[in-house]
Chain A
Amino acid sequence: MSQTAEQHQSLWLLAASPIVWAAHFLLCYITAAIWCEKVVGPGGALMTVRVTIAAYTAVALAVIGIIGWVGYRRHSYGSADLPHDDDTPEDRHRFLGFSTFLLSGLSAVAVVYAALVAVFIGSCH
């Protein structure tokens, strides 16, 4: 019961994975923009940035994975099936967990999309 009590819940959990996506996205953009403007200039090589983005991506996916796992665990708390619409703290707990899990999945896909750009683009051109 205490695990599902209201004071242990937060809407921020829903936002956690998308926030990781946003941080990853902004870091990729800013790193590339500064690199191309300040370091190598237009048309310069991008290898360092590509490696950096790979590192960002590994960290971001790991964090999203953990959040998603926490969400999945909450989703499967006890024994209840979707759609988690009962008027109980347990079902509310499962709903928040499932939504967190889904948002983690979406965030992971979006992070991979961003990382793919660094796979295909090789210069600041």
Chain B
Amino acid sequence: MSQERETLGSKRGDVEPLAEAPPEEVRRAQAERLLRAWETPTGWRYWSSVNNSDVGLWYTAMTFFFLLFGGVLALLMRIQLAVPDNDFLSAELYNQAFTVHGSVMMFLFAIPVFEAIAVLFLPQMLGARDLPFPRLSAFGFWCFLLGGIFLCGSIFFGAAPRGGWFMYPPLTSTYQPDIGADIWLLGFSFIEIAAIAAAVEMIVGALKTRPPGMRINLVPLYVWYVLVAAAMIVFAFPPLIAGSMLLEIERAFHWPFFNPAGGGDPLLWQHLFWLFGHPEVYIIFLPSVALIAMIVPTFARRAIVGYSWIVLAAVGTGFLSFGLWVHHMFTTGLPGISLGLFSAASEAVAIPTGVQIFCFLATLAAGRLTPSVPMLYAFGSLVIFVLGGLTGVMVAIAPFDFQAHDTFFVVAHFHYVLIGGALFPILAGCYYFYPLINGKRLSDRLGKIAFWPAFIGFNIAFLPMHLTGLRGMPRRVFTYPAGIGFDVLNLVSTIGAFILAAGLAIVFWDLFRPKKKQPYAERNPWQAGTLEWTQEMPGKPWGIRSIPEVDSRYPLWDQPNFLRDVDEGRFYLPDAEEGRRETILTSVIDAQPYQCQRLPGSSFITHAAALTTGGFFVFGTYHWWWLALVSLVLALGVIIYWLWTGTALIPEKEAKDVSLGLRLPLYTSGPSSVGWWAIFITMLAVLTAFISLVFGYFFYWTIHEDFPPDPSPGPGVFWPVVAAGLLLGAWGLTLLARRWNRRDWAAGFYVGLLLAAALAVAGGAALLAGPWVTGLDPKSHVYPATVWLLAIWTAGHAVVGVIMQLYCVARRLAGRMTARYDIDISNVALYWHFAALTAVVTVAVIAGFPLVA
């Protein structure tokens, strides 16, 4: 096998395109076959499309709808604050408005728009036909749509969350028992799962679907940023999902995680929330500034200056941003040395952030700047963002933050950061990339007209807020008395907000106005050098006519006859002989082609999966547990059907010719398959959520004299140790089953895997037996609650693991998995590595730590 792969995808030096184009009729037949394979469904079936160009478009359009929704809420709040003692909004509605505004802008605009733009353009930038998991992207979009409508809709029923976008308990637990907080906790957990799905797609896409020859030093900068931001999602979102789970369990079942009366601590929520919340700012910022990194070289007419430095900035920011979370908690009474550490990291992150801005300026200085609308917005972005960055350095200094905390100064700071660091770059990106969407350009005139009210209005609205804040006006207060120095400043801010809104309204009109009569843009209208501009105007559903061999960071500038060679099918995969959707997988470092990956086509299964998963969260919000459970079981059924019919399909032949004298295998398993990577990344996220729960356990240990209580009331040592033994046995047998399957010893495989499943069931039960037989009552105190939670979490892993094992047994019985085609069992074995690790850590904590503490 490995011998075969060696010859199939062996090392290739520089590969030249075909010297002669295939004859005209051959090319036409190829194009027809490609078109048939990639055909967009018509009529109502259009919505079953999973092509990145369709899903990305819906995704982007929906995020702009939510931007509009959040923006209208902001205007309502500005009307309320325009004059003192106003009664335009009630205090109650105002609370809902600022909570929904913040939540919508963060969770339904800023993060999803990154995923949406990446789904839309990443394959184009990589010369890939699509991302490796098109249906996963579509599933993520439908989850996002359902969750978003559910959340936004709640405000029309006066049921919206009103505890601030960070949902601090005890306000959101003890004092707001109504449904608002549940909508937030469950609705956003649903959307966060979609975000993690998108992150998996981005990471695997960026590492594995690059065009042949695009070595790691030739990757477009956008791809670097997306890789970093997606990796950050994998580690930043799980703490919030874990925290949301704790808070929801406290609200629904009264396990006192955050309630001091039961030994809990609201500060744990703040840790978990900001462990997500701060990296999240950079998850928003990095992919947005990445758009500028694509725009600047085009209009400077030269390669980017300091490519390696920008990679340093992206990777460095990605890491450092995880060391900042406590700067949101400077006023919670932590020891000075803790504050100092986080203050230091907050200052350090300014270094990489600044480096990339200097690289952009250097590129512009070294090149010949061509004035254009995208550059106008890019400049606006830099000005606003630098101001926001400077106030950020101010609030990173703890003593200053003590003064400015929870005032309008902070509001001004983060709007400068987010509007400068995200909204303006995205608008620049809209004007730049729009021709790739439908082949038409946006209006330069409208773009220029819109820019000035947006830029000036923004500054009129938010610059005075620094002063309002320094004068002491607190955030999140629905009105203020006259004559204490807030009146004029607030009125000015409101006027500015409306000027900004007018500018954005023009942009919205430009984006959504009918363009039927407008002619198509010329191809590569900006004379850019990067791969996405090979697209024809309008684009074809296949994405790219043939997948090129890339030798440069700017192939359109540097590789002669590049467009001609792509168009005439002189590169890889110019055909779809078997009528299947396909793209090429390449190695991580040097992008050596090693597999031709078949991709799935249009399907409504993604809708069914999103609806049933959504049902679990929506019914859960209303505490209709039976319906929620039914929905969950249905979701499981749908997802198994999806996997069974659409994944790890055995190809009709071992390998295929992808042109240019290269034959590639159609199926690989283990670390070279994309599915293995997806499981690996997903399980890293799950492991991070688990570590957050373990962090909670030790957090309670640091704040309590008697945690774990002495003598320990449970779960004892016996049952947990038995559980660990059984689960490790299940893990070992799963690995053996993988090996026996490879050796084609069917009996060994079936017996081993069924035995593994039996051990896993017993192990999960034994783990729950510990707290059960010792009579731990999770409602009584946070200690039993934490022990129960860790035990249930791990037992849940065992249950999922058993489903996977039985799935593999069924796959082999059905002939859909064989000794050679063994993706399923390879991925399940990978899952079990993580499950075993989780079991060992859980047992060490709940049974071992009480012994040593």
B341 contacts A106, CB within 8 Å? Answer: no
C-alpha spacing A10/B303, complex, angstroms:
26
Interface check B345, CB cutoff 8 A = yes
Cβ of B315 under 8 Å from chain A: yes
Q: Name the residue on B nearest A83 (C-beta).
A: B307
Instruction: Report if A87-B307 is in contact (Cβ < 8 Å); known contacts: A36-B337, A37-B702, A117-B341.
Output: no
List the B residue with the shortest CB-CB distance to A82.
Answer: B308
Stretch at the interface among B211-219, B236-244, B538-546: B211-219
- What mask results when residues 290 to 312 of chain B are scored 1 for a CB within 8 Å of chain A, else 0? 00000000000001001111011
Is A109 touching B337 in the complex (CB atoms < 8 A)? no
* Shortest CB distance B202–A (Å): 15
Within 8 A of B (CB), among A80-125: 82-85, 87, 89, 91-92, 94-96, 98-99, 102-103, 106-107, 109-110, 113-114, 116-118, 120-121, 123-125
| Per-residue A-contact encoding for B193-227, CB less than 8 Å = 1, 0 else | 00000000000000000000101111000000000
Task: Please give me the residue from chain B that is nearest to A44 by CB atom.
Answer: B335
Segment of B115-123, B317-325, B844-852 in the binding face:
B317-325
Q: How far is the CA of A18 from the CA of B318 in the complex (A)?
A: 9
- Complex formed: what's the CA distance from A81 to B562 in Å? 27
Question: What are the interface flags for B323-352 relative to A under an 8 Å C-beta threshold, 1 for contact and 0 otherwise?
Answer: 100000000001111101111110110011
A86: shortest Cβ distance to chain B, in Å?
A: 8
Contact A123 B336 (CB under 8 A): yes
Is B659 among interface residues, defined by CB-CB distance under 8 A?
A: no
Give the interface SS of chain B, mostly helix, strand, loop or mixed. helix
- Within 343-364 of B, Cβ neighbours of A (below 8 Å) are at 343-345, 347-348, 351-352
Task: Decide: B702 and A83 in contact? CB cutoff 8 A.
Answer: no
A60 on interface, CB distance cutoff 8 Å: no
Q: Does B446 contact A (CB under 8 A)?
A: no
Among listed B131-139, B585-593, B766-774, interface-contacting one: B585-593
B552 close to chain A: CB less than 8 A: yes
Q: How far is the CA of A85 from the CA of B318 in the complex (A)?
A: 24
Q: Given that A32-B335, A113-B347 are contacting pairs, would A92 and B215 also be in contact in the complex, using a CB cutoff of 8 Å?
A: yes
Query: B14 contacts the other chain (Cβ, under 8 Å)?
Result: yes
Minimal beta-carbon separation of B471 from chain A (angstroms): 30
Contact indicator per residue, chain B 447-485, by CB within 8 Å of chain A (1) or not (0): 000000000000000000000000000000000000000
| CA A87 to CA B320, docked complex, whole Å | 31
- The complex places the Cα of A32 from the Cα of B337 at a distance, in Å, of 7
Give Cα A91 to B308, complex, Å: 12
* Contact status A106-B351, CB under 8 Å: yes
Q: Is the CB of B323 within 8 A of A18?
A: no
Closest to A110 in B: B348
Interchain CB contact under 8 A, B345 and A87: no
Asked if A87 meets B589 with Cβ closer than 8 Å, knowing A46-B337, A99-B311, the reply is: no
Contact B703 A37 (CB under 8 A): yes
Chain A residues contacting B552 (CB-CB under 8 Å) are 85, 87
Residues of A within 8 A of B587 (CB): 6
Question: By the criterion CB–CB under 8 Å, are B316 and A106 in contact?
Answer: yes
When the two chains form their complex, are residues A25 and B315 in contact, meaning their CB atoms are under 8 A apart? no
Cα–Cα, bound, A25→B340 (Å) = 11
Q: Which residue of A lies closest to B306 (CB)?
A: A83
Instruction: Please indicate the chain B residues that have their CB under 8 angstroms from the CB of A83 in the complex.
Output: 303, 306-308
Contact at A25–B345, with CB atoms within 8 Å?
Answer: yes
Contact B351 A117 (CB under 8 A): no
B551 proximal to A (CB < 8 A):
yes
Q: Is the CB of B335 within 8 A of A6?
A: no
**B307 engages A29 (CB within 8 Å):** no
Cα–Cα, bound, A47→B592 (Å): 55
Residues of B within 8 A of A21 (CB): 319-320, 323
Min CB–CB distance A17 → chain B (angstroms): 9
A71 to B323, alpha carbons, bound, how many Å? 24
Size band of the A side of the interface?
35 or more
A117 & B344 in contact (Cβ 8 Å cutoff): yes
Q: Are B341 and A84 in contact, CB atoms less than 8 angstroms apart? A: no
A87, B551: Cβ atoms closer than 8 Å:
yes
Do B337 and A118 have beta carbons less than 8 Å apart? yes
Contact across chains for B335 and A36 when beta carbons are under 8 A apart: yes
B217 touches A85 (CB 8 A): yes
Residues of B within 8 A of A116 (CB): 344
Would B217 and A29 count as touching, CB distance under 8 A? Answer: no
Contact A87 B337 (CB under 8 A): no
Instruction: Decide if B553 is an interface residue (CB 8 Å cutoff).
Output: yes
Contact residues of B between 260 and 282, Cβ < 8 Å to A: none
Bits for B8-31, please: 1 = Cβ < 8 Å to A, else 0. 000000100000000000000000
In chain A, positions 15-65 with a C-beta closer than 8 Å to chain B are: 15, 18-19, 21-22, 25, 28-29, 32-34, 36-38, 42, 46, 49
- With a cutoff of 8 Å between Cβ atoms, the chain B residues found around residue A87 in the complex are 14, 213, 215, 218, 550-552
Q: Counting CB contacts under 8 A, is A67 at the interface?
A: no
B347 touches A125 (CB 8 A): no
Whether B589 contacts A6 by the Cβ 8 Å rule is: yes
Which residue in A6, A38, A121 is a CB contact (below 8 Å) of B590?
A: A6
Q: Which residues of B contact A94 (CB under 8 A)?
A: 217
* Given known A-B contacts A18-B316, A83-B303, A109-B351, A28 and B218 have beta carbons under 8 A apart: no
- How far is it, in angstroms, between the C-alpha of A21 and the C-alpha of B338 when the chains are bound? 16
Q: Which 8 A-B pairs have the closest CB atoms?
A: A117-B340, A95-B217, A18-B319, A113-B344, A102-B312, A87-B551, A110-B348, A36-B335
Residues of chain A at the chain B interface (Cβ within 8 Å)? 6, 9-11, 14-15, 18-19, 21-22, 25, 28-29, 32-34, 36-38, 42, 46, 49, 82-85, 87, 89, 91-92, 94-96, 98-99, 102-103, 106-107, 109-110, 113-114, 116-118, 120-121, 123-125
Can you report 11 residue pairs joining A to B where beta carbons are below 8 Å apart? A11-B216, A25-B323, A29-B338, A33-B335, A36-B337, A95-B216, A98-B308, A102-B311, A106-B316, A106-B348, A113-B344
Told that A92-B215, A110-B348 touch, could you supply 10 new A-B pairs with CB distance under 8 A?
A11-B588, A15-B319, A34-B702, A85-B552, A87-B218, A92-B218, A110-B323, A114-B344, A117-B343, A121-B337
